[in-house]
């Protein structure tokens, strides 16, 4: 608490920007907006590593995890790190975990925020607890574990606990498989089932819409972001961002808002309910010597975080136009509960063609 107070006093201007700054010029931008830089997060020991994963805690909305490793397949696996930062003390991580293999993906449990699962460069998956003082995984799938991946683990995701109260998660790997795992007593794994999940092109990220269960978004090194309805054979929206798209994320407050980062250092923010095929914001946020690789929305506050290939993480505040609630013809705010967000996306889908 003392450290947080000292940091808050030292960087009071940034805190004030986070709390109070609103870009008044948004009123004259025709619906477009900007992002304003806030805190920068850098751990000296992580400088030689690439940010490979970002994940906010849903229980403590100021806390987020940073996975560090490497995307280079021709580079020797030099190990990695898992760091936890809080925006209340951005100068040093709250938790530091060193890993034998590079970290590729991370997910924090929604109800038990002390549990975090990660996927590694060597194909292993591991679960850590922030409550464990020895900084070792409480469970880990080794080379001898049934179902262990033979390629890099690109995504991990917690599922709902099963009927016996056991924790479950999914892992997606470059070996073309999706594997479902469950944690058993004593820290052992049970291999449940696997699915074919081969993508013929290089896909950087796939994410389901947080409101509409049949809509997902994907991005790749072909410069494209695509939005899909699982009931249709082809994408319902396609966006050419003119550079390799490294990551994409849905906003937690709107079914039609998403953001992407591209290799040329830009953040792109779209709201399909405002402009279907044009970004509301395209802004350079990373210098030419660095490349942004990951992006995440905060679950509550109007900020996003962006990680680059030098181990840095920056936070950015969204201007008012990038987080406006929809208005009706009388310029009154409409309710934006889950039902309205689903209906908003359905209206967009109905304008793109017939659903199979």
Q: What is the pLDDT of residue 328?
A: 52
The answer to whether the CB of 206 falls within 8 A of the CB of 197 is no
The answer to whether the CB of 135 falls within 8 A of the CB of 145 is no
Beta bridge partners of 64: 56, 85
What CA–CA distance (Å, rounded) separates 81 from 97? Answer: 6
> Domains of the chain: which residue ranges?
39-198, 202-356
Beta bridge partners of 237: 227
Q: What is the pLDDT of residue 257?
A: 96
Q: What is the pLDDT of residue 296?
A: 97
The torsion of the CA quartet 60, 298, 112, 248, rounded to 10 degrees, works out to -160
Q: What is the pLDDT of residue 134?
A: 83
Q: What is the pLDDT of residue 198?
A: 27
- Domain covering 39-198 in this structure, CATH number: 2.130.10.10
Which residue's structure tokens are 């060193």?
98
Q: What is the pLDDT of residue 179?
A: 83
Secondary structure element (H or E) that encloses residue 247, with its range:
strand 245-250
Structure-block tokens of residue 225 = 């972001």
Beta bridge partners of 172: 155, 178
Structure-block tokens of residue 14 = 């940034």
Fold: same for 39-198 and 202-356: yes
What is the architecture, at CATH level 2, of domain 202-356?
A: 7 Propeller (2.130)
Beta bridge partners of 52: none
Q: What is the pLDDT of residue 196?
A: 31
Rounded to a whole number of angstroms, the distance between the first and last alpha carbons of the chain is 56
Beta bridge partners of 159: 168
Taking alpha carbons only, the member of 154, 257, 252 closest to residue 198 is 154
Q: What is the pLDDT of residue 107?
A: 96
What CA–CA distance (Å, rounded) separates 120 from 133? Answer: 22
The answer to whether the CB of 165 falls within 8 A of the CB of 111 is no
Taking alpha carbons only, the member of 47, 50, 82 closest to residue 67 is 82
The answer to whether the CB of 33 falls within 8 A of the CB of 321 is yes
Q: What is the pLDDT of residue 313?
A: 96
Taking alpha carbons only, the member of 178, 171, 214 closest to residue 198 is 178
What CA–CA distance (Å, rounded) separates 317 from 304? Answer: 7
pLDDT in tens, the chain (356 residues): 778 778 777 888 898 899 888 888 888 888 899 999 999 999 999 988 999 999 999 999 999 999 999 987 656 778 999 999 999 889 999 999 999 999 999 999 998 999 999 999 998 999 999 998 888 888 887 655 667 788 889 889 998 877 778 888 888 887 777 788 887 654 447 444 443 322 445 677 888 899 998 898 888 888 889 888 877 777 889 999 999 999 999 999 999 999 999 999 999 999 999 998 899 999 999 987 889 999 999 999 999 999 999 999 999 999 999 987 655 545 555 556 788 899 999 998 888 754 43
Q: What is the pLDDT of residue 144?
A: 59
- Strand, coil or helix: 16: helix
Per DSSP, the chain holds a count of helices (H) and strands (E) of: 3, 24
């Amino acid at each position: 608490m003392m450290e947080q107070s000292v940091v808050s006093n030292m960087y009071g201007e940034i805190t004030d920007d986070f709390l109070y700054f609103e870009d008044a010029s948004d009123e004259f931008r025709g619906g477009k907006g900007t992002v304003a830089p806030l805190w920068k997060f850098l751990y000296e020991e992580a400088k030689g590593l690439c940010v490979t994963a970002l994940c906010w805690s849903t229980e403590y909305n100021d806390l987020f995890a940073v996975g560090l490793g490497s995307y280079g397949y021709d580079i020797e696996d030099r190990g990695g790190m898992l760091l936890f930062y809080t925006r209340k003390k951005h100068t040093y991580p709250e938790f530091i975990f060193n890993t034998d293999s590079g970290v590729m993906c991370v997910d924090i449990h929604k109800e038990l925020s002390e549990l975090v699962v990660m996927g590694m460069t060597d194909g292993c998956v591991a679960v850590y607890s922030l409550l464990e003082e020895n900084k070792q995984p409480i469970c880990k799938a080794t080379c001898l574990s049934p179902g262990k991946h033979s390629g890099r683990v690109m995504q991990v995701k917690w599922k709902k606990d099963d009927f016996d109260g056991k924790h479950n998660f999914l892992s997606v790997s470059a070996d073309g498989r999706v594997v479902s795992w469950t944690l058993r007593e004593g820290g052992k794994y049970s291999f449940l089932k696997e699915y074919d999940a081969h993508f013929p092109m290089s896909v950087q990220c796939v994410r389901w819409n947080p409101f509409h269960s049949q809509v997902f978004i994907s991005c790749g090194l072909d410069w494209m972001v695509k939005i899909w309805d699982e009931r249709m054979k082809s994408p319902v929206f396609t966006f050419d961002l003119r550079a390799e798209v490294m990551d994409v994320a849905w906003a937690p407050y709107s079914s039609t808002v998403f953001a992407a980062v591209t290799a040329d250092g830009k953040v792109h923010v779209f709201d399909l309910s405002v402009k279907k095929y044009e970004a509301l914001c395209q802004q350079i946020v990373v210098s030419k010597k660095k490349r942004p690789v990951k992006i995440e929305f905060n679950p509550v506050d109007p900020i996003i975080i962006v990680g680059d290939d030098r181990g840095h993480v920056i936070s950015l505040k969204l201007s008012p136009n990038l987080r406006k609630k929809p208005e009706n013809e009388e310029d009154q705010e409409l309710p934006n509960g889950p039902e309205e967000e689903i209906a908003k996306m359905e209206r967009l889908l109905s304008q793109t063609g017939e659903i199979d």
